[in-house]
């Protein structure tokens, strides 16, 4: 027996065979040294009359003081009639089978996001790009608030502050799901603030800017269907995701109506959008593909992701970065058609532009709400089931006529004013 101190532990050297040194003041407690020099704290005790051996950890990763704490905890369990060795084995098994972040992401997508969120594919993209790339093998229970903050800071540092906010939103939802599934007790996102401030946008396009934008699309470096999506957005005022996924079954050409189904509408309600002649022209420029989509990506045959249309809009102002090397070299990128000609805008700014210009044309706020498919929150709206199709048709006709005039560089004419007074 010997008195165990840090100095005495450091002085222990490996031998040809494994050996143990017992502490003189703690019965059964000591240090085991292997021929390779690994030093482990051990405790020999008896449970139900049988000798048992428990290993606490290796020195110096586990300090002498911490080993003493583990010994005291083990003795308390033994005094209560619990085998401390069995408890440690159970904890180790639980640790080995604890959910990893990769497990949680798969479960969150399958059990929550895909059944409930139209943006599930965007959730998956963000989680794979920014979360699994760092935490895939990490145990969910080991993710701390500091880990979350550091991950978000990294996204901000690469120049994507708004993306960091979006990532935090998804992480909050995912870890809340983890709490509901009893995977963890407390979310590491609690009390984490969004890393970037977001100012509400108020950008709208003027007549000159609308005309510049419309004609710039002809020579822009983007797929033809991306061009059609942007044009239909400003022709109808509808959301980017709803326009991207438009299906042939949704279009009634005889009635001149686009019937957006409830499962594709943001508010979960079917939405009727009357089509102006200009909108119909855009819809009839191409035939639907084999899956019925009108504006699919040329590469996938499926609807674009929202980020693709965001990028297409950005490259109206910025030079498109070179693609990955291919067997056939691509032609040099064209000069951005709108660079230096107007203030930047986003696809969503087109929707705001339509709403603003409709109001300028004398269209009532209520009719604009119907066009935008915004939910009325007052009590009367719960009882009013009128679809307002005539009012919507009139509003879209007024805007369609004015948009054609803007594209042609013409001032508002009497026929538009007459429609406004009907």
> Which three-class secondary structure state does DSSP give residue 336?
coil
Q: Report how far residue 175's alpha carbon sits from residue 147's, in angstroms, rounded to the nearest whole number.
A: 13
Q: Report how far residue 21's alpha carbon sits from residue 39's, in angstroms, rounded to the nearest whole number.
A: 10
- Report the largest interatomic distance among the alpha carbons of the chain, rounded to a whole angstrom: 107
pLDDT at residue 263, rounded to an integer? 86
Q: Report how far residue 241's alpha carbon sits from residue 354's, in angstroms, rounded to the nearest whole number.
A: 16
CA of residue 270 relative to chain centroid, distance: 25
Q: Reply yes or no on whether the pLDDT at 198 is more than 80.
A: no
Mean pLDDT of the region 156-161: 85
22-26, 193-197, 340-344, 357-361: least confident range: 22-26
Mean pLDDT of the region 189-208: 88
Query: For residues 375 and 9, which has the higher predicted lDDT (pLDDT)?
Result: 9
Integer Rg of the chain from CA: 33
pLDDT digits (tens, 9 = 90+) for 400-421: 999 999 999 988 775 554 454 4
pLDDT at residue 422, rounded to an integer? 45
pTM over 0.85: no
Q: Reply yes or no on whether the pLDDT at 110 is more than 50.
A: yes
Q: Report how far residue 270's alpha carbon sits from residue 285's, in angstroms, rounded to the nearest whole number.
A: 25
The share of the chain scoring above pLDDT 90, in percent, equals 57
Mean pLDDT for all residues in the chain: 87
Q: Reply yes or no on whether the pLDDT at 116 is more than 60.
A: yes
Q: Reply yes or no on whether the pLDDT at 385 is more than 80.
A: no
CA of residue 99 relative to chain centroid, distance: 21
Q: Are 130 and 151 in contact (CB under 8 A)?
A: yes
Residue 352, C-beta contacts closer than 8 angstroms, at least 6 positions apart? 201, 202, 203, 204
pLDDT at residue 421, rounded to an integer? 44
Q: Are 177 and 111 in contact (CB under 8 A)?
A: yes
Query: For residues 319 and 176, which has the higher predicted lDDT (pLDDT)?
Result: 176
Alpha-helical (H) ranges within 114-160 are 114-116, 120-126, 133-135, 145-157
Homologous superfamily assigned to 207-421: Intergrase catalytic core (1.10.443.10)
pLDDT at residue 210, rounded to an integer? 97
Mean pLDDT of the region 12-22: 91
Phi, psi of 39 (to 5 degrees): -110, 120
Q: Are 25 and 37 in contact (CB under 8 A)?
A: no
pLDDT at residue 303, rounded to an integer? 92
pLDDT at residue 99, rounded to an integer? 87
Q: Which residues in 347-370 are b (16+ Cβ under 10 Å) and which e?
A: bbbbbbbbbebbeebebeeebbeb
Q: Are 43 and 74 in contact (CB under 8 A)?
A: yes
Mean pLDDT of the region 107-127: 88
pLDDT digits (tens, 9 = 90+) for 223-244: 999 999 999 999 999 999 999 9
The share of the chain scoring above pLDDT 70, in percent, equals 88
Report the number of secondary-structure helices (H) and strands (E) in the chain.
19, 7
Any idea which fold 6-97 has? Double Stranded RNA Binding Domain (3.30.160)
Q: Report how far residue 273's alpha carbon sits from residue 199's, in angstroms, rounded to the nearest whole number.
A: 30
Q: Report how far residue 60's alpha carbon sits from residue 324's, in angstroms, rounded to the nearest whole number.
A: 49
pLDDT digits (tens, 9 = 90+) for 292-309: 999 999 888 899 988 889
Q: How confident is the model at residue 81 (pLDDT cuts 50, 70, 90)?
A: confident
């Amino acid at each position: 027996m010997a008195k165990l101190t840090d100095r005495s532990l450091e002085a222990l050297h490996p031998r040809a065979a494994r050996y143990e040194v017992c502490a003189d003041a703690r019965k059964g407690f000591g240090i085991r040294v292997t021929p390779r020099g690994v030093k482990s704290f051990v405790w020999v005790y008896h449970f139900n009359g049988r000798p048992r051996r428990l290993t606490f950890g290796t020195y110096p990763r586990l300090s002498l003081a911490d080993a003493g704490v583990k010994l005291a905890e083990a003795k308390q369990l033994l005094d209560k009639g619990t085998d401390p060795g069995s408890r440690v084995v159970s904890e180790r098994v639980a640790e080995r089978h604890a959910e990893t972040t990769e497990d949680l992401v798969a479960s969150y997508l399958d059990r929550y996001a895909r059944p409930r969120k139209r943006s599930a594919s965007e959730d998956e993209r963000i989680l794979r790009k920014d979360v699994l790339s760092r935490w895939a093998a990490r145990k969910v229970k080991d993710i701390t608030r500091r880990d979350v903050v550091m991950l978000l800071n990294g996204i901000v540092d690469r120049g994507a502050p708004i993306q960091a906010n979006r990532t935090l939103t998804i992480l909050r939802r995912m870890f809340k799901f983890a709490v509901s599934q009893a995977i963890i007790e407390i979310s590491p996102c609690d009390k984490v603030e969004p890393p970037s401030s977001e100012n509400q946008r108020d950008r709208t396009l003027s007549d000159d800017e609308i005309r510049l934008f419309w004609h710039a699309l002809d020579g822009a470096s983007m797929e033809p269907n991306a061009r059609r999506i942007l044009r239909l957005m400003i022709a109808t005022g509808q959301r980017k995701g709803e326009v991207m996924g438009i299906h042939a079954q949704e279009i009634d050409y005889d009635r001149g109506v686009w019937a957006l189904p409830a499962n594709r509408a943001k508010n979960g309600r079917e939405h009727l959008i009357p089509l102006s002649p200009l909108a119909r022209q855009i819809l009839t420029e191409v035939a639907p593909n084999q899956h019925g989509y009108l504006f699919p990506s040329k590469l996938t045959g499926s609807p674009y992701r929202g980020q693709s249309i965001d990028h297409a809009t950005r490259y109206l102002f910025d030079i498109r970065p070179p693609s990955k090397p291919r067997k056939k070299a691509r032609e040099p990128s064209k000069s951005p058609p709108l660079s230096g000609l107007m203030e930047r805008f986003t696809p969503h700014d087109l929707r705001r532009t339509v709403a603003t210009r409709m109001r300028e044309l004398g269209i009532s706020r209520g009719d604009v709400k119907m066009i935008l498919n915004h939910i009325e929150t007052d009590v009367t709206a719960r009882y009013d089931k009128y679809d307002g199709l005539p009012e919507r048709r009139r509003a879209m006709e007024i805007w369609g006529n004015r948009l054609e005039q803007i594209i042609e560089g013409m001032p508002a004419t009497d026929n538009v004013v007459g429609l406004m007074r009907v």
